[in-house]
């Protein structure tokens, strides 16, 4: 993922990936049929990084909706690399149906996590879940996606603290308190 995050999808070369991994290009091509297969594996790895960060939060009993959803934001070096790969693939999805299909598959998984955690939030706070839960979940996902883009493209003006506070403020505006 690091090579893609630093150079972009088109400028990424097999030799660079092999060098970073400390193997030969032959070893890389033994496991991957072509450059596209490697790139698709990088997209999967980007989402897996985000999902794993969320799972680590879920191991604690007393986590909030904000705690878990904020793990999608590019607030660490690891998440910044993963989300840079994520963003590169969204633009590629426009022209390549195979990439779009995979990207949408992962996006639906992300959307489901948001929905499940939103339901958990309402159960935990003993508040009735709204009838438009899916719509709220989609708006939260869209907000987080926008914050990811701002954090990647405009890092100096959008540090981790601002991303986190903006998400917290948004959730509070729609009635979801971050400390619950």
Query: How would you write the pLDDT of the chain (180 residues) with one tens digit per residue?
Result: 787 778 777 777 878 788 877 888 888 888 888 877 888 888 888 889 999 999 999 898 788 999 999 999 999 999 999 999 888 888 888 998 988 998 899 999 999 999 999 999 999 888 888 899 999 999 999 999 999 999 999 999 999 999 999 999 999 999 887 555
Provide the pLDDT for residue 19. Answer: 83
- List, for residues 59-86, the tens digit of each pLDDT value: 987 889 999 999 999 999 999 999 998 8
Provide the pLDDT for residue 40. Answer: 83
Q: What is the pTM of this model?
A: 0.86
> Which of 33, 43, 174, 23 minimizes the C-alpha distance to 110?
43
Distance CA 33, CA 172 (A): 47
CA 140 → CA 63, 161, 172, distances in Å? Answer: 18, 18, 11
Beta carbons within 10 angstroms of residue 100's beta carbon: 16
Sign of the Cα pseudo-torsion (21, 160, 152, 50, in order): positive
| CA of residue 114 relative to chain centroid, distance | 12
Distance CA 66, CA 177 (A): 8
Q: Where are the alpha helices (DSSP H) in 59-159?
A: 65-69, 77-93, 97-124, 133-153
């Amino acid at each position: 993922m690091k090579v893609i995050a630093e150079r972009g999808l088109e400028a990424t070369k097999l030799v660079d990936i092999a060098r970073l991994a400390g193997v030969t290009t032959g070893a890389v091509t033994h496991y991957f049929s072509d450059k596209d297969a490697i790139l698709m594996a990088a997209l999967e790895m980007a989402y897996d990084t985000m999902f794993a960060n969320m799972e680590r939060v879920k191991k604690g009993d007393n986590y909030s909706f904000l705690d878990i959803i904020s793990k999608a934001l590019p607030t660490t070096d690891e998440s910044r690399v993963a989300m840079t790969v994520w963003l590169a693939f969204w633009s590629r999805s426009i022209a390549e149906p195979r990439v779009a299909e995979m990207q949408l598959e992962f996006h639906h998984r992300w959307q489901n996590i948001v929905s499940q955690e939103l339901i958990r939030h309402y159960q935990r706070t003993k508040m009735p879940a709204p009838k438009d839960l899916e719509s709220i979940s989609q708006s939260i996902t869209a907000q987080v996606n926008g914050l990811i883009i701002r954090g990647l493209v405009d890092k100096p003006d959008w540090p981790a603290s601002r991303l986190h506070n903006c998400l917290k403020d948004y959730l509070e505006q729609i009635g979801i308190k971050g400390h619950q």
